[in-house]
Chain A
Amino acid sequence: MRVVNTKMKQASSFMLVAALAAAVAGCGGNGNQKEEANSSTNASGTETKQNGNASDQPKLTNLKYWVANHSAASAQMKTYAEMEMYKELEKRTGVKVEFQHPPLDPQQAKEQFNLMIASNELPDVIETYWTDGYPGGPEKAIEDGKIMKLNDLIDQYAPNLKKLLEEHPDWKKQITTDSGTIYSFPFLRGDDKVRVFFGPALRQDWLDKLGLSVPTTVDEWYAVLKAFKEKDPNGNGKADEIPFYIDKDLLNVDAPFLGAWGINYNFYQDGGTVKYGPIQPEYKEFLTTMNKWYKEGLLDQDFAAPNAKLFDNKMTTNLLGSSVLYNGGGIAKYTNLMKDADPSFKLTAAPYPVLKAGDTPIWGQKDFAYTGIGAAITTSNENPAETVKWLDYAYGQEGEMLFNYGLEGVSYKMENGKAVLMPELLNPPGGVSVQQSIAKYTRSTWSAPYVLSDNFQMQYLVLPEQKKALEVWSQPTVERKMPLVTPTQEESGKFASVMTDIQTYRDEMLLKFIMGAEPIENFDKYVKKIQSMGIEDAIQIQQAALERFNKR
């Protein structure tokens, strides 16, 4: 049996290789397919021009649409097709959409995406994080013959999006690649107010109990956390409080806390020059501080292995004092969850900490209008022109209402020419979050290919704490944030292979330095090692990409 067992093992590993190779082999004919796809778009393009009649296009009735599901929606529906907004869209356009969702876990979703891309069977529409998600970026996706260049199609069949892009040249600049290609129907955040939704937060009721005020500098934070640890703010007589939680994923979102030192956890620009945060001398100071917090029990012992369920648990059992939270998915979520169990539970947003009192924070989360999420049309799509029309609907007036607010009379009503969300959506019964109750109708609390309006967003921020958070978190200048740059074809392979190894090493060493497994004295060695891994090349690639972006 042992023989069988080992053989099975061998067989399964062979099978894996075989499957991979077969998947790769399947792409053999791709070059042709791409040409065909291109020529067919061209053909249809010229055809319509000649006839001047778009109704010659066969009618679109079915679409396969790949997009990641969201936890707020997946809790109540199998696919987006059950969402009220898409049911209504089907009624209005006559297009039946079959949604394909990868697993919620981001790692597994990425795995499924990459395997799908390597195969020949693509859905008609893929909505994803194109700048980050496709290995090599959106230009490469077009080069690989996976998705279509949309410039001409948008020109001809997408009047709504076209008009928007003409009105907002900065949006156009962000969704276009260096070579002028538009590759997706973008998710756009219309106004500044909808671009800030993440930042430091802590327990207001704990602060009140201990007679402390909201900290603004790193030193003040230290004092507050120390008090959380020692003065038993949860009042159970045990020193079981976990004053603070942060992990590498949170750091990666525009560098909360790390930003106090003026750097981030990735590439940033300093007066037009690209730098890499984790090799700056300031990073060493950050690590020293975090190491101190860890040693004194201020930083959660579990920060090395992020676990969302565990985090929820610590928050709702009165153990966790502070962290970096999303406005809707954090502050509102926990406040609603604790509404009945502990009415005194109150979270408050704190400004992004700085080193010297009175300084304006440089780093803080603030997205650009476009974050890289968009719906692209694949080369497997047999009716791109009609698909473009279908996608364009969301950018027109009717579509905007549908995508932002759902159904009139059901999820919103018009008052003085403004859409107002129904009160039952914003005050759901206990145990249901506002995000979940809205998710029944629309995707506007996370993302979709449309323009998110701030009229929606300001209503979504139901609690006064949330409105305050928006204000507090909007202070940072964000002057060092990199725009959404894309490497060129030739650079992308090199960049990816250099950065995979560096990021693995960076993440590993972050944990080791903070936990003290690696003495901080070895910081210089760590920097040398990253340099020997080729960070300079990667910085140059980013620098060139930044310059190309600025020239767009």
Chain B
Amino acid sequence: MQQLRTIRTDWKRNWAAYVMALPVIAYYILFHYGPMYGLQIAFKDFSLAKGIGASAWIGFEHFKDFFGGIYFWRLIRNTLLLNLYELLFGFPAAIILALLLNEIRAVLFKRFVQTISYLPHFISLVVVAGMMVDFLGRTGLVNQLIGVFGIEPIDFLKEEGWFRFLYVSSGIWQGIGWGSIIYLAAMATIDPTLYEAARMDGASRWKQMLHVTLPGIAPTIVILFILNMGNLLTVGSEKVLLLYNPLTYETADVISTYVYRKGIMEASYDFTAAVGLFNSVVSFVLIVSANSVIKRLSENKLW
């Protein structure tokens, strides 16, 4: 009875907020929970004619095929490494840029650098990949430049050793400015009196950054880090698809490109649903464990 009344008063007070939330809730139900019905084909011998419900159950066959397949370890390794490198180099890069920008006193110069650094974010991935193919080809700009120093041309995109470096560095180039915005916003919320107090205590600019700015944005960093952990097994397939070729499969073929080749090109929807489900489960576990580890270490957490 008591509860019912609370709900009623809550509704009366906040009904507008609930109505506003409706589209979002509908979106999640329609596009995120509804399709989960189709997940069952991961355990089925899916046939287009019989449909999802009527296809025969075959248990973990598809999972066994995937885990036992010869490409399993290569896919896991490539997916993990690409993400790990992005996390290792790309994640701190945005923070460092934000810290540097924060120290700039000349407002005009700061704005200028900021604008330039996040322009690449607005270039379509296809164009970025096209530019890379052009610049990095055997007769491309990069090879002409290093040719001046007498270095033999290198076919960057056709050598497996280069793929990860190119993928991660181009990612940083494209994302660093955009990624730094959130940190700059976090820095803006730091109470200026803290800096004043630090200065009174004789802290240098460097010390201020270490002991005021960084702790100030730490919660933001931690939350973004946890979210990134969840993505360890998800690489956006588009960029890899645009840049790889059979010569670089060894380092470039990731789970999502494999799913694309197998699922869309060969139409084995059931098998790829299994791979996708595996991917989601691992991501879920990663995110939960990252959250709990960090919860134990500090007060910051995602939930």
Contact = CB atoms under 8 A, between A and B. Distances in A.
Interface string B44-87: 01111111111000000000010001110000000000000000
B228 interface: yes
A537 interface: no
B73 to A, nearest CB: 14
Nearest to B183: A2
B249 A504 contact: yes
A350 B4 CA distance: 89
Given A118-B48, A304-B247, A24 B231 contact: no
A302 B157 CA distance: 12
Contact of A304 (B47, B182, B228, B246): B246
Given A10-B234, A511-B246, 5 more contacts: A13-B236, A21-B37, A27-B52, A118-B267, A144-B47
A25 B38 contact: yes
A504 to B, nearest CB: 7
Interface string B220-235: 0001100110110010
A14 interface: yes
A237 interface: no
Contacts of A136: 267
B281 interface: no
A3 B224 contact: yes
B138 A302 contact: yes
A20 B183 CA distance: 36
A111 B53 contact: no
Interface in B138-185: 138, 155, 158, 175, 178-179, 181-183, 185
A1 B38 contact: no
A18 interface: yes
Contacts of A143: 47, 49
Contact of B179 (A5, A512, A532): A5
A194 to B, nearest CB: 31
Contacts, number: 146
B122 interface: no
B49 A3 contact: no
A24 B41 contact: yes
B39 A21 contact: yes
A305 B48 contact: no
5 contacts: A27-B48, A135-B267, A305-B158, A493-B45, A497-B65
B224 A2 contact: yes
A364 interface: no
A13 B47 contact: no
B260 to A, nearest CB: 9
B268 interface: yes
Contacts of A31: 49-51, 54
A264 to B, nearest CB: 19
B43 interface: no
A34 B247 CA distance: 44
Contact of B269 (A118, A302, A497): A118
A2 B41 CA distance: 34
B23 interface: no
B265 A107 contact: yes
B181 A1 contact: yes
A2 B176 CA distance: 10
A508 B245 CA distance: 9
10 closest cross-chain pairs (CB), A and B:
A21-B38, A21-B35, A135-B267, A28-B51, A144-B48, A18-B35, A1-B181, A144-B49, A2-B182, A508-B246
Nearest to B253: A504
Interface in B5-55: 31-32, 34-39, 41, 45-54
A62 interface: no
A548 B102 CA distance: 75
A30 B245 CA distance: 37
Interface residues of B, number: 59
A18 B224 CA distance: 25
Interface string A276-309: 0000000000000000000000000110110000
A2 B51 contact: no
A88 interface: no
B246 A24 contact: no
Interface string B260-302: 0111111111010100100000000000000000000000000
Contacts of A544: none
Q: Which of A504, A515, A532 has the most CB of B within 10 A?
A: A504
Given A10-B231, A22-B35, A304-B246, A117 B48 contact: yes
A73 to B, nearest CB: 25
B250 to A, nearest CB: 8
Contacts of B228: 6
A146 interface: yes
| Interface residues of B, dominant DSSP | helix
Contacts of A27: 48, 51-52
Contacts of B247: 304-305, 508, 511-512, 515, 517
Contacts of A10: 230-231, 234
Contact of A6 (B38, B47, B224, B269): B224
Given A24-B38, A25-B35, A25-B38, A114 B51 contact: no
A114 B264 contact: yes
Contacts of B37: 21, 25
A180 to B, nearest CB: 20
A191 interface: no
A159 B45 CA distance: 41
B94 interface: yes
A505 B32 CA distance: 35
B138 A3 contact: no
B31 A15 contact: yes
Contacts of A458: none
A325 B291 CA distance: 60
A145 interface: yes
B70 to A, nearest CB: 6
B51 A29 contact: yes
Given A13-B234, A27-B51, A302-B138, A3 B182 contact: yes
Interface in A464-479: none
Contacts of B261: 500, 504
Contacts of B179: 1-2, 5
A529 interface: yes
B32 A14 contact: yes
A492 B190 CA distance: 63
A2 B268 contact: no
A110 B179 CA distance: 36
A529 B246 contact: no
Contacts of A496: 266, 268
Interface in A216-254: none
Given A1-B182, A24-B52, A28-B53, A301 B138 contact: yes
Nearest to B46: A24
Nearest to A29: B51
Given A144-B48, A144-B49, A24 B269 contact: yes
B208 to A, nearest CB: 24
Interface in B111-161: 138, 155, 158
Contacts of B266: 135, 496-497, 500
